Structure 1
Amino acid sequence: MKRVKNAKSRWQLALVILMPSLAMGLAWYFYFFGTQFVPDGRTNKGELLLPPASFQSMMLEKNNEMFDLQGLEGHWGILVFGDESCSDQACQETLYQTRQAHLALGRDSDRVVRLFISSSSNPELNKPLLSEHPDLIWLGSRKESVLNALGKNPGEKREWPTNGFYIVDPLGNIMMKYQPGQYGGDLLKDLRKLLKASNIG
């Protein structure tokens, strides 16, 4: 009888230890791979990327030096993609929309940085634009690195995601995507929810 009680106690102890680990493992799996479990009635305005894309694998450069995850300094990021000079109206409107969303975060705006990604890391191409967006971090990358990171399949049309914008978390997971021309208020709503729920960044 005593042996049965000891065995039962061991099982109970094992369950107490394993349950938190199991819950964390399931949460991790659903976050990265569980596309089939995402409910249709979700309220996010952007498109959730499952699995997330890798910020690191885009091989970004700033002033001809590598810009990696440490460059985020533990912040959330708004990634905007455009051409080398961002001289067209659509690109400038995208920057405007993301800037307004960033400002509207109020005191939480310090937790978020904005990054512009083009095929050139030379911000001198559009000095007037930079004067309107002094907080913008201008980065360059190769097309192949960006498309591979964002999960473009060989059969898909491989085009630079011009005027699209994304959210990247402080761990380097590019986890939400917005279409060119999408309203900055959608970005703002999602960022507010993410920042409220997040213990990082």
Structure 2
Amino acid sequence: MSGSNSSVPDSRPEPAEGLSLTVHTLPNLAPERRRLSGRLQMLMVLAVCAAPVIASYFTYYVVRPGGRTNYGELIDPQRSLPSLPLQSLTGEPVPASSLKGQWLLVAVAGGACDAACEKTLYLQRQLRETLGREKDRVDKVWLIPDGAAPRPEVLAAINPKGAEATVLRVPAEALADWLKPAAGHALADHFYVVDPMGNWMMRFPADPQPAKVKRDLEKLLRASASWDNAGR
């Protein structure tokens, strides 16, 4: 009706008696984000530190221009240095981890050291010396898997001043769990190359050709020049 001051009643439902709304606080994500950021930063630092090592191995193992071959047999996968029960010649325990930090040219032979052993140790010494200024990045290691005592003249020959060899005893069974000869050969028939991180990564053929062994060693040293330094 005209002029009427009547109004349409409010049709919205009244809230039920006793009903209340609760607002939950959103979780604070800032600490979790900081933790995630910290982990990412740590991974980035590790990646930067490992990059030179990865690059050198990639160069040596993967990027091989035509005609470039290795004389030594690459070990795939590499075998990490285990906790070998090493002993000095006087019977003192030597931690296997002490061998890390240098390239190792490893020979295996009994302590009595026959003519073949003497030839191997002589070649080991000469190979290191021919590396010139890079020789300090390579250690000579003679592992003795028996209880025979090396003759004094042999020890004197392999330990010239400033180029001493590392001579250690190790049980044959323990050593056989790490180093392996080629099929049809004995451990004493080869030189074994271990990288500064303790990985056995190359085995040279029996009765090796010195010039070819030297070439492989030089390539390894060049490939690792950006991250490996002389001495432990």
Q: Provide the TM-score with structure 1 as the length reference.
A: 0.70
Once the two structures are superposed, residues 42-97 of structure 1 have per-residue CA deviations (whole angstroms, 9 ceiling, x without a partner) of 511111001112333443322323333542362111100111221x2211111111
Aligned to 1:170: 196
Say whether the 8 Å CA contact 1:90–1:181 is kept in structure 2: no
Change (3 A) 1:39 1:176: farther
Hey, what's the Cα distance between the residues in 1 that align with 2:93 and 2:65?
Answer: 38
Aligned to 1:147: 176
**Amino acid in the other structure paired with 2:154:** L
Aligned sequence identity (%): 31
Q: Is residue 44 of structure 1 aligned with residue 70 of structure 2?
A: yes
**Amino acid in the other structure paired with 2:98:** G
Change (3 A) 1:181 1:75: same
Q: CA deviation at 1:158?
A: 9.7
Q: CA deviation at 1:136?
A: 1.4
Q: Where in structure 2 are there 5+ consecutive unaligned residues? A: 1-42
Aligned to 1:119: 145
Aligned to 2:228: 200
Change (3 A) 1:129 1:157: same
Hey, what's the Cα distance between the residues in 1 that align with 2:93 and 2:104?
Answer: 17
Q: Where in structure 1 are there 5+ consecutive unaligned residues? A: 1-16
Indicate which of 63, 69, 80 corresponds to 2:107.
80
Q: How many residues align?
A: 173
Hey, what's the Cα distance between the residues in 1 that align with 2:168 and 2:96?
Answer: 13
Indicate which of 179, 183, 190 corresponds to 2:205.
179
Say whether the 8 Å CA contact 1:76–1:112 is kept in structure 2: yes
Say whether the 8 Å CA contact 1:98–1:187 is kept in structure 2: no
Indicate which of 74, 80, 94 corresponds to 1:54.
80
Q: Which has the larger radius of gyration?
A: 2
Q: Provide the TM-score with structure 2 as the length reference.
A: 0.62
Q: CA deviation at 1:157?
A: 7.8
Say whether the 8 Å CA contact 1:56–1:68 is kept in structure 2: no
Q: Is residue 105 of structure 1 aligned with residue 137 of structure 2?
A: no
**Amino acid in the other structure paired with 1:102:** R
Hey, what's the Cα distance between the residues in 1 that align with 2:73 and 2:112?
Answer: 27
Q: CA deviation at 1:148?
A: 1.2
RMSD across aligned positions (CA): 3.5
Please state whether the residue corresponding to 2:177 is helix, strand or coil.
helix
Hey, what's the Cα distance between the residues in 2 that align with 1:97 and 1:120?
Answer: 22
Change (3 A) 1:186 1:157: closer
